[in-house]
Amino acid sequence: MTQITRSMLEDLDARDPLAYFKDKFDLPDGVIYFDGNSLGALPKATTVRLEKVVAREWGEGLIRSWNDADWIGAPQRIGDKIAGLVGAEAGEVIVADSTSVNIFKLVLAALSLNPDRGTIIAERGNFPTDHYILQGIESLLPDRIKVVALERNEIEAAVDHDTLLVALTHVHYRTGEMFDMDALTGMAHDRGAMVLWDLCHSAGAVCVDLAKAQADFAVGCGYKFLNGGPGAPSFAYVARRHQAGAVQPLTGWFGHADPFDFAEEFTPASGIERFQVGTPAMLSLAALEEGVDVFASVDMADVEAKSLKMSSLFVDLIGQHCPGAGFELVLPLAKRRGSQVAFRHEHGYPIMRALIERGVIGDFRAPDVMRFGFAPLYIGFADLWDAAVILGDIMKTGIWQEPDYSIRLGVT
Ligand SMILES: *Cc1c(COP(=O)(O)O)cnc(C)c1O
């Protein structure tokens, strides 16, 4: 392997079509941020927008702003913008609630489309909330729903005439491994099943083409690669062909055909609006809109290409700067992957704490995984070098062994 030098990486930065976007974010000096897959960075425009929404639209406009500032249209408007990033059409994506709640809504919507089937296939080791919501649905409808969690290589063989839904996360939160969305969706459809894709680690990070995959349902996070801010609302995608027939269970007034008719009986809206429940969280939506707007002039193919290049360079740099330090790459580089690299290390937690103290912010997923997420809009190639040098130093000096670093914080 040829040795990587910092000047090689500086050259890559100089030729990077996305380098221009870094200036759109407010990142603190001295921080190299590898956690955009958990909480995206703050776009500069968000600060300005929130000040305007709070002081002018809320403070002065008061309730008039639902109309005058088109607050009421925000869930659809932002949904349409996200649709453009995941290969969906306008009118197929709505922004509302959290990912957890949207999984609940869409699984039951799938059941309403095909009540003769009752098995939901999930992947063992998926993000916990996805499992928990499925378990909750199973205990709510024990006679109708059976959830089967399988290893990745067992999924295809298990899809059969009773499979209602295959519910999978496109890019695995811990390993970064990516499913072949087209192949898996096609396989499920051939057997009469539908697929719910969780795009939490995909939207804004890799190329997603829901239309090409003929996807049925999808959900995704607003606060990870879309930079919508802590707890930003999530998005839900329902293919247009399913919308008229799909009944979602949380029949709140914002899913009504005409909320301001104040009718006693629930009549669902005809399109994607029926997947809303209650009043939109406008301050959070305004922040999310700025996060999504950063992508307006971004080509997702550039984002994906840069992210893959960063992943492989980072793995090589860790090899170069931390020889024999015991970092075990979780997912081989040759595998289909998302925008992150994970290493196993028996002392992963204190090492990550020591890194964070030195300004290199990644995260830790129990029991032993150190995660480094690459948000290509605000990480440069030279940052990878600087982070690897710091990690090498932490390993050489053994500074990570300071007892404080082993104390577990509430959020890892
Ligand atoms: C981050 C993440 C979630 C988060 O769900 P919330 O309801 O927004 O807390 C769900 N699923 C996956 C796969 C995630 O990575």
Cβ(127) to ligand 1 under 6 A?
Answer: yes
Mean pLDDT of 221-237: 98
Q: What pLDDT is stored for residue 354 in this prediction?
A: 97
Cβ(169) to ligand 1 under 6 A?
Answer: yes
Written as one letter, the residue type at 167 is: A
- 242-277 core/surface letters (b: 16 or more CB in 10 A; e: else): bbeebebebeebbbbeebeeeeeeeebbebbbbbbb
Q: For the full predicted model, state whether its pTM sits above 0.75.
A: yes
Which position among 35, 80, 130, 198 bears the catalytic label?
A: 198
Pure H helices in 221-299: 240-243, 282-293
Q: What pLDDT is stored for residue 268 in this prediction?
A: 97
User: How far, in Å, is the centroid of ligand 1 from the Cα of 199?
Assistant: 9
Which DSSP helix (H) or strand (E) runs through 83? helix 74-85
Which DSSP helix (H) or strand (E) runs through 110? helix 99-113
Nearest to 340 by CA among 363, 317, 366, 359: 363
**220 DSSP β-pair partners:** 235
Pairing state between β 235-238 and 360-361: unpaired
Judge contact between 350 and 397, C-beta under 8 A: no
For residue 408, indicate whether it is catalytic.
no
Q: What pLDDT is stored for residue 2 in this prediction?
A: 82
User: Residue with structure tokens 């919507």?
Assistant: 109
For residue 198, indicate whether it is catalytic.
yes
Q: What angle do CA 327, 389, 205 make, to 5 degrees?
A: 70
Backbone CA torsion sign across 162, 166, 167, 168: positive
Q: Tens of pLDDT along 181-219?
A: 999 999 999 999 999 999 999 999 999 999 999 999 999
- For residues 21, 23, 28 and 29, what is the CA-based torsion angle, rounded to 10 degrees? 110
Mutate to test the pocket of ligand 1, among 100, 105, 177, 411 (most ligand atoms within 8 A of CB): 100
- For residues 381, 224, 127 and 274, what is the CA-based torsion angle, rounded to 10 degrees? -150
Q: Tens of pLDDT along 270-288?
A: 999 999 999 999 999 999 9
For residue 371, indicate whether it is catalytic.
yes
C-beta neighbour count of 329 within 10 angstroms = 15
CA distance 267 to 258: 8
Q: Quick one: pLDDT band at residue 1, thresholds 50, 70, 90?
A: low
Nearest to 10 by CA among 398, 248, 313: 313
Q: What pLDDT is stored for residue 25 in this prediction?
A: 98
- Across the chain, mean pLDDT equals 97
Q: What pLDDT is stored for residue 168 in this prediction?
A: 98
Mean pLDDT of 115-131: 98
> How many CA atoms lie less than 13 Å away from 140 in the CB half-sphere?
10
**245, two tokens:** 């027939």
Class of residue 394 by CB neighbours under 10 A (exposed 0-12, middle 13-18, buried 19+)? buried
Residues contacting residue 275 through CB under 8 Å, at least 6 positions apart: 94, 96, 102, 105, 106, 109, 236, 238, 248, 255
**125 DSSP β-pair partners:** none
**119 DSSP β-pair partners:** 146, 163
Q: Tens of pLDDT along 340-365?
A: 999 999 999 999 999 999 999 999 99
Percent of the chain scoring above 90 in pLDDT? 99
Q: Tens of pLDDT along 375-394?
A: 999 999 999 999 999 999 99
Q: Quick one: pLDDT band at residue 412, thresholds 50, 70, 90?
A: confident
Which position among 21, 217, 223, 314 bears the catalytic label?
A: 223
Nearest to 30 by CA among 357, 327, 349: 357
User: How far, in Å, is the centroid of ligand 1 from the Cα of 379?
Assistant: 23
CA distance 167 to 195: 6
For residue 237, indicate whether it is catalytic.
no
> How many CA atoms lie less than 13 Å away from 161 in the CB half-sphere?
0
Nearest to 240 by CA among 220, 198, 195, 210: 210
For residue 335, indicate whether it is catalytic.
no
Backbone CA torsion sign across 167, 169, 172, 178: positive
User: How far, in Å, is the centroid of ligand 1 from the Cα of 16?
Assistant: 30
CA distance 165 to 181: 14
